[in-house]
Chain A
């Protein structure tokens, strides 16, 4: 098996960077698989075969999303930029520029210990010791 997800000598990389790189590779593979299924579905006439492949593609959607969430949890700045872009109505490029600018102005904006929007991250206290 190859180790070409590493751009630098693996033995010089810390364990968390190797994990991060593995998940980046996995994310890429899931995105490629989604692209392949889209192409196959575009040309396959057999309805049963299409149903099977559509089901398989949905699995890739799930895998891609899980990979992405893992990676975003490792990189607060990435997470904050993604928060400004994903699931928003309107102009994607405009949201991207705004999200990037917000993080540049306040680099700790995505710090998970600060919670959403620079807050203290207190949230619900149900079940917590007083």
Chain B
């Protein structure tokens, strides 16, 4: 439904200020929310959406009376994630006057942390929230990669072969943790052919910079294997303000499920 719980109307922020904040958040998150480039996305279903239907039940030990049996539906409750940040009101006033260099660094940091939280939950799980991640669920052994990025195509090809062997079709995507990403884009193989392009040929799918991911993950892009369910999509809300600063937050709610555990293979960095 509406975003009233965000209390944006109570913030001492002009329409232009909100536009600036929203655009900055959208831009920063759009780069860092890696999981959304690689898994199925459903929703947003709204802030009042509380759980994902699993279609499964568990027994209830006793029924209200004789002659009946009972089952309890199992659901996956959504997790709420919030990253708070504080902006200078003087900086926002400067933005209203047309300043092109408004200091939004605190927002940028919060956006990065929120994106890392989402990426980690999807790829490596979040047990306290009931979320099993892609690499946790995978039955495949981790494929080790060596320290030399010139050899990187070998573990990626091995991962693709593992997926093919168990009948998981492509195209395949590659989530690269920040260290792996840097190593990949810096590397030109023998003859100057960029490693990035070679990997894309092996995968036939996207290669994604994925802050929060450990090592790398190869996963099928055929669809239906990894399910991100959004309640409230990422929004900026208002918390409090004083004469000098306004305290805001980025917030979202979501669940994540792995429908096909064998549709992903983790690549482990050297110990």
Interface residues of A (CB under 8 A from B): 80, 83-84, 102-103, 105-106, 108-109, 113-126, 128, 130
B62 at the A/B interface (Cβ < 8 Å)?
no
B236 at the A/B interface (Cβ < 8 Å)?
yes
12 pairs, CB–CB < 8 Å, chain A vs chain B: A102-B1, A102-B2, A108-B15, A109-B2, A115-B235, A118-B8, A122-B29, A122-B234, A124-B41, A125-B30, A126-B36, A130-B37
Task: Give the A-B contact count at a CB cut-off of 8 A.
Answer: 95
Closest A residue to B237 by CB, please name it: A118
Q: Among the interface residues B2, B18, B31, B252, which one has the most CB atoms of the partner chain A within 10 A?
A: B2
A114-B22, A116-B44 known; A123 vs B233 contact (CB < 8 Å): yes
How far, in Å, is B93 (CB) from chain A's closest CB?
A: 21
B6 at the A/B interface (Cβ < 8 Å)?
yes
A117-B44, A125-B30, A125-B36 known; A83 vs B1 contact (CB < 8 Å): yes
Query: What 1/0 mask marks residues of chain B from 208 to 240 whose CB sits below 8 Å from any chain A CB?
Result: 110000000000000000000010111110000
Closest A residue to B9 by CB, please name it: A106
User: Which A residues lie within 8 Å of B266 (CB)?
Assistant: none
User: Which A residues lie within 8 Å of B73 (CB)?
Assistant: none
User: Which A residues lie within 8 Å of B78 (CB)?
Assistant: none
Which residues of chain B in 127-144 are interfacial with respect to chain A, using CB atoms and an 8 Å cutoff? Answer: none
B25 at the A/B interface (Cβ < 8 Å)?
yes
B256 at the A/B interface (Cβ < 8 Å)?
no
Which residues of chain B in 186-219 are interfacial with respect to chain A, using CB atoms and an 8 Å cutoff? Answer: 208-209
Closest B residue to A109 by CB, please name it: B2
Q: Is the CB of A123 within 8 A of B2?
A: no
In whole angstroms, what is the CA distance A115 to B234 when docked?
Answer: 9
Query: What 1/0 mask marks residues of chain B from 1 to 35 whose CB sits below 8 Å from any chain A CB?
Result: 11110101100000100100010011001110100
B123 at the A/B interface (Cβ < 8 Å)?
no
Closest B residue to A125 by CB, please name it: B36
User: Which A residues lie within 8 Å of B4 (CB)?
Assistant: 102, 105-106, 109, 118
Q: Is the CB of B22 within 8 A of A120?
A: yes
Query: Of B15, B31, B41, B208, which contacts A123 at CB under 8 A?
Result: B41
A117-B46, A125-B36 known; A106 vs B8 contact (CB < 8 Å): yes
